[in-house]
Chains A and B, each alone.
Chain A
Amino acid sequence: MQNNSDMLNSHAFKSLVSQRWWVSGILLLALFLTYYGFLLLIAYQRPVVTVQIWGKTPLGIPLGAGVIVLSWLLTAIYVFWANRAYDPVVLSLAQRLKAETP
């Protein structure tokens, strides 16, 4: 029990938790800007969406496809970060806890 509260109060654990939510928060903000930005662009800047770029194809179509691709990329960035930076720390902290608990 002592070990557990040591862990909870440790700098390593606290920074792990705060980093996790910082990364989540920034990516969520990017998602909001992408999706709601797209909706607001359609609502308030219609001419931008309807300008024809390739033959009769308006900009709105590649933009819409871009929202889908970007949403997936944000998901991929999170996984990349979590696999590279989050998991190793989780593993080492969990092992430390195990080693200290007889």
Chain B
Amino acid sequence: MNTATAKSTLGQPTPAAIAFFLLIVFLTLGITWWAARRTRSVQEFYAAGRSISAFQNGLALAGDYMSAASFLGIAGMVALKGFDGMIYAIGWLVGWPALMFLVAEPLRNLGKYTFADVVAFRLQQTPVRIAAALGGILTILFYTIAQMVGSGALIHLMFGVPYEVAEVAVGVIMLAYVLFGGMLATTWVQIVKALLLLFGVTVMVILVLARFSFNPIELYAAVANQYGQAALEPGGLVSNPLDAISLGLALMFGLLGLPHILMRFYTVPDARAARLSVLYASGFIGYFYLIIPIVGFGAAALIGRNVIAGIDKGGNMAAPLLAEFLGGTPFLGFIAAVAFATILAVVAGLTLAGASAFSHDIYVHIIKRGQASEHEQMRVGRIATLIFGSLAVLLGMVFKGQNVAFMVGLAFAIAASANFPALLLSILWKRFTTLGAVGAILTGAFLSVGLIVLSPTIWEDILKNPAGSAFFPLKNPALVSMSAAFLVGILLSLWKREPQAEEKYESEKLRVYLGIGAE
């Protein structure tokens, strides 16, 4: 045990941490109680009655996207690896403009609750919905496992509670939001969490810069003096350009295939609000990733890399340690509670998206052929939520102590390879067919999962095979799997025409571009 760990109250439930934690839980459950009385119909359950404003949705999107992994993980990566962490942070923002240019407005106009609504709109419902739900559920599943395993470990580190207790606590509280308050509660929990997170990180950055006479250049100089100039220069992340571009593609286009993000566009009244909400979201997220490196560099300069890595070798505790150093136990308590709220909100959003894929796409459209009463749809939606939430807790326990960091990259790779190509082609290309859509989704899904198993990420780092023995050279498969999905989708569509789909493409244009008939 080194001196700094002995000094830190990290891992002990301090009065401040407990007070902030309880405050957040009561506040969010209060929101849920309020939302529950406004959640009677299916549209309210999945889409908050399409009543969310563009500004609110911008904050909620930011809340969905700024996970604990990106808050604690990127601050830690910058603290321990310097500039490489900053390159990584940038990759997380660049998907948002692409989301705006390619899918945000057509998605809002064409769909109802899920992105599969859009892909299946003019194609044959059953095969396309099964494939799209598969791509969506795989994405959400890997994303959820990464969040749950990370959250159990983080809550254990911050509050000292056992991993299993942390998992169940996350599961129970988050299920309360989703089951009773549906999308309305989930959205407001995201908004509260996004505001708290942005506020907390802003205060931290001001406190860091105050130590360097409000001049970032002095902060960078301090980092360079302690760790050498290399801390401010690119290291290993971009040593292989193809690797960097493949990861960049996964991060950029993965966003365009994340079901829990796409689902948020149905909560606003129209395409114009969808468009504005991306502008707000990218503003908040851009600001976040712009300042989070200062937290990381500040932690390296003021706390020291050895201390940070001594507590958690991934560096996840850099931001909490810095908070304690700058603002004492109360500020640490606040940041720890915000991190917990972040985890709850992100898992709640994922659960709602997972439940909608199962109940809306599979049950209502395939099993019941679109013929299900409001009451029945609500019941199935809630049962699916309960199943998905319990599954999340169970998977969190199964993967305890496993290295699951790769699963976030995998979730983005599947989203970019399975969901995004089918979504884009169905919006843009008249000749796209049912066969093409199913082929593209399956190719993207299986290729991204298969290739990551054969890549150094799993083959060498997880399965402990010797370095250089991986069959597939890239750490992230998106460059190959996404290209292959597009290619298969296009070739299969060219091979056999589907006149009905082409006709419907023409008539749906009024809905896509003018919003006529949009729900």
Contacts and interface: CB of A to CB of B under 8 A. Distances in A.
A4 to B, nearest CB: 6
A65 B293 CA distance: 10
Given A35-B94, A54-B217, A65-B290, A49 B514 contact: no
A99 interface: no
A49 B234 contact: yes
Given A4-B507, A24-B101, A57-B232, A69 B286 contact: yes
A8 B516 contact: no
Contacts of B252: 35
Given A8-B506, A36-B248, A39-B245, A61 B290 contact: no
Given A39-B238, A39-B244, A28 B102 contact: yes
A1 to B, nearest CB: 9
A68 B90 contact: yes
Nearest to A44: B241
Contact of B286 (A31, A39, A68, A83): A68
A20 B513 contact: yes
A24 B102 contact: yes
A57 B275 contact: no
Given A28-B98, A58-B232, A72-B286, A79 B276 contact: yes
Contacts of B83: 58, 60-61, 64
B98 A87 contact: no
B87 A42 contact: yes
A44 B240 CA distance: 10
Given A57-B217, A75-B100, A78-B101, A49 B233 contact: yes
B516 A75 contact: no
B429 to A, nearest CB: 12
B234 A46 contact: yes
B214 to A, nearest CB: 15
A27 B98 CA distance: 9
Interface stretch (B111-119, B139-147, B277-285): B277-285
Interface in A4-60: 4, 7-8, 13, 16-17, 20-21, 24-25, 27-28, 31, 34-36, 38-40, 42-44, 46, 49-50, 52, 54-58, 60
Contact of A75 (B245, B248, B279, B515): B279
B220 A61 contact: yes
B395 interface: no
Contacts of A74: 97
A85 interface: no
Interface string B94-112: 1011101110000000000
B233 A58 contact: yes
A30 B278 CA distance: 18
Contacts of B516: 94, 97
A79 B515 contact: no
Interface string A64-102: 110111011011101100110001001001100100000
B249 to A, nearest CB: 9
A31 B241 CA distance: 18
B458 interface: no
Nearest to A50: B233
Interface in B421-476: 428
A64 B88 CA distance: 10
A67 B86 CA distance: 11
Nearest to A35: B94
A20 B97 CA distance: 15
A49 B229 CA distance: 12
B211 interface: no
Contacts of A93: 514
Contacts of A72: 93, 97, 282-283, 286
B510 interface: yes
B379 interface: no
Contact of B233 (A28, A40, A60, A68): A60
B311 interface: no
B203 interface: no
Contacts of B207: none
Given A16-B513, A28-B102, A57-B232, A71 B97 contact: yes
B221 interface: yes
B221 A28 contact: no
6 contacts: A20-B513, A25-B101, A71-B93, A71-B286, A76-B279, A79-B279
